[in-house]
Structure 1
Amino acid sequence: MSQRFEGTEKYVATEDLKVAVNAAIALERPLLIKGEPGTGKTVLAYEIAEALGAPLITWHIKSTTKAIQGLYEYDAVSRLRDSQLGDERVKDVKNYIKKGKLWEAFESPVRPVLLIDEIDKADIEFPNDLLQELDRMEFYVYETNETIKAAVRPIVIITSNNEKELPDAFLRRCFFHYIRFPDADTMQEIVEVHYPGIKQKLVGEALRIFYDMRKVPGLKKKPSTSELLDWLKLLMVEDIDAAALAEKDPTKLIPPLHGALLKNEQDVHLFERLAFLARREGAARPGQ
């Protein structure tokens, strides 16, 4: 296929990410994307679909999800109940088969993008249970005695938050890419995409605070890109300017509207302790 991903107006894709996406498309292998939460792993599939003009099929994985659900589910209970009621539908087993996301992707007449989101949330056997289907791009439906084969091979994007290790056999079949957390220059580009024309002084000061916060040792959950964007939006709504952010008062170590950035009480307490220590240190050196 000559399809190539070059990013979109709304999504700042680094060069190495574009290379990874296009390599996976060329090799016709699933692209396994890892990276800390908030680095745009899930959004990537949406942007690839938009950039290539392809339909998007999303399968969001939960801890209870089984691989067979991606293929199909047979509702034997409903069929039994309908047979007891004398329903005509029981004569055709297909009335009781619910197509899964892989079946949907395999039936697509044009090449779709299939997102298997947060694969590490499921049981450890889940990735292995999908190996053959993703490899051969076909599966067998026992109830109807038919093989469902992909009309065109979908572009498969699989995301993982590294909650558990994925099996080696599964990893061998994927093209892998780790999305590194954006550096300040890339982050500035991302901010500009979301808030065109935003005051650069405000962004510069906000980014300084944001990256300083991420460096604090002992932080349970580092603020992510999506949280930075929320915070900037609030700063603009509340009309807090760069000068207010730049204030060097040690008693105001926690930035304004920090609830957009810090998402648990341990991290808030950590910053409160740091502010207390800074105050104490300031009081101990009054001459400075």
Structure 2
Amino acid sequence: MRFDGTESYVATDDLTMAVNAAITLERPLLVKGEPGTGKTELARQVARALDLPMIEWSVKSTTRAQQGLYEYDAVSRLRDSQLGDPRVSDVGHYIRRGKLWQAFDAPGRVVLLIDEVDKADIEFPNDLLQELDRMEFHVYETGETVRARQRPIVIITSNNEKELPDAFLRRCFFHYIRFPEPEVLARIIEVHHPGIKPALLSAALTQFYELREQPGLKKKPSTSEVLDWLKLLLAEDLGPEDLRRDSASLLPRLHGALLKTEQDVHLFERLAFMARRQR
């Protein structure tokens, strides 16, 4: 069982090494990186490449670790008891299985994605330590212990919004997805926009990296954003000669696909204004 990327996902050597190391060690793979660098898509492509089902747990700020195991619906049971429903005698009717339980109880191996773990409370990762380590947990309402039939391939993503506990990090294999170099980004673009003209690709990438490396930028454009930008350029049938920046603002054509904050738009407008004053 080895991951080497797919025809629709360009994986660098160090990324494929990290995925395969985590599979060999039977440790969760913790993937960090800028938003839009393909962390979530990695889990989907690993599942696709290894021909495994995928279970996705999208973490929110209100998500609790217990929800990944199970939830006991005491309110429904109380209501049913008042109505004389015979199901009340079996507490199992009121247990809702979470994503970890689904992964543990799957008949075969699955890929379990815990997406954006850093969105939740700081205690969230700590509350999952034992379950991810031992691959089992106890259901107190029924007295049963749920054990994984086969250890799932666990991929955990983080946007680095907050620090994760050391005890949690110790149990993971870590990989940081760096922003791709121009050669790698060109390969990614070719996958999504096959046949793009080299002159347009070269001009667009030059402008994109100049934009991305501008000092003072609050939100750097990511891989997904440059793909959207190129899709718009192709849809408008623009050529490399059409990519000249607006001299009044220094903003690129269709800049709304790349710049996502008013501060960054104003930054380029101020730079253009300062350049005009210095003439």
Asked if TM exceeds 0.5, the reply is yes
TM range (shorter): over 0.9
Report the counterpart of residue 89 of structure 1 in structure 2.
Answer: 87
- Asked whether the 8 Å contact 2:190–2:196 carries over to 1, the reply is yes
Show structure 1 runs of 5+ residues with no match.
none
**In the TM superposition, what is the alpha-carbon distance from 1:280 to its structure 2 partner?**
2.9
**Structure 1 residues 148 and 240: CA distance shift in structure 2, 3 A:** same
Query: Is residue 251 of structure 2 the alignment partner of residue 254 of structure 1?
Result: yes
User: What is the alpha-carbon distance in structure 1 between the residues aligned to residue 277 and residue 183 of structure 2?
Assistant: 35
> In structure 2, the residue corresponding to 1:251 is in which secondary structure?
coil
Pairwise CA RMSD: 1.0
Query: Is residue 255 of structure 2 the alignment partner of residue 267 of structure 1?
Result: no
User: What is the alpha-carbon distance in structure 2 between the residues aligned to residue 248 and residue 275 of structure 1?
Assistant: 10
User: What is the alpha-carbon distance in structure 2 between the residues aligned to residue 123 and residue 252 of structure 1?
Assistant: 41
User: What is the alpha-carbon distance in structure 1 between the residues aligned to residue 106 and residue 7 of structure 2?
Assistant: 27
User: What is the alpha-carbon distance in structure 2 between the residues aligned to residue 206 and residue 125 of structure 1?
Assistant: 43
- Percent identical residues: 72
Aligned length, in residue pairs: 279
> In structure 2, the residue corresponding to 1:186 is in which secondary structure?
helix
Question: What residue identity is the alignment partner of 2:271?
Answer: L
User: What is the alpha-carbon distance in structure 1 between the residues aligned to residue 240 and residue 115 of structure 2?
Assistant: 38
Query: Is residue 19 of structure 2 the alignment partner of residue 9 of structure 1?
Result: no
The TM-score, its normalising length taken from structure 1, stands at: 0.95
C-alpha offsets along residues 27-47 of structure 1, whole Å, 9 cap, x if unaligned?
000000001111101100000
User: What is the alpha-carbon distance in structure 1 between the residues aligned to residue 44 and residue 33 of structure 2?
Assistant: 17
Query: Is residue 141 of structure 2 the alignment partner of residue 143 of structure 1?
Result: yes
User: What is the alpha-carbon distance in structure 2 between the residues aligned to residue 29 and residue 249 of structure 1?
Assistant: 50
Report the counterpart of residue 280 of structure 1 in structure 2.
Answer: 277
> In structure 1, the residue corresponding to 2:234 is in which secondary structure?
helix
Query: Is residue 83 of structure 2 the alignment partner of residue 102 of structure 1?
Result: no
Report the counterpart of residue 162 of structure 1 in structure 2.
Answer: 160
User: What is the alpha-carbon distance in structure 2 between the residues aligned to residue 94 and residue 180 of structure 1?
Assistant: 46
User: What is the alpha-carbon distance in structure 2 between the residues aligned to residue 251 and residue 79 of structure 1?
Assistant: 66
**In the TM superposition, what is the alpha-carbon distance from 1:250 to its structure 2 partner?**
3.5
User: What is the alpha-carbon distance in structure 2 between the residues aligned to residue 244 and residue 278 of structure 1?
Assistant: 22
- Asked whether the 8 Å contact 2:251–2:269 carries over to 1, the reply is yes
> In structure 2, the residue corresponding to 1:78 is in which secondary structure?
helix
User: What is the alpha-carbon distance in structure 2 between the residues aligned to residue 151 and residue 249 of structure 1?
Assistant: 60
Report the counterpart of residue 57 of structure 2 in structure 1.
Answer: 59
The TM-score, its normalising length taken from structure 2, stands at: 0.98
User: What is the alpha-carbon distance in structure 2 between the residues aligned to residue 179 and residue 4 of structure 1?
Assistant: 19
Query: Is residue 209 of structure 2 the alignment partner of residue 189 of structure 1?
Result: no
Report the counterpart of residue 37 of structure 1 in structure 2.
Answer: 35
Structure 1 residue corresponding to 2:169, chosen from 168, 171, 184: 171
**Structure 1 residues 140 and 210: CA distance shift in structure 2, 3 A:** same
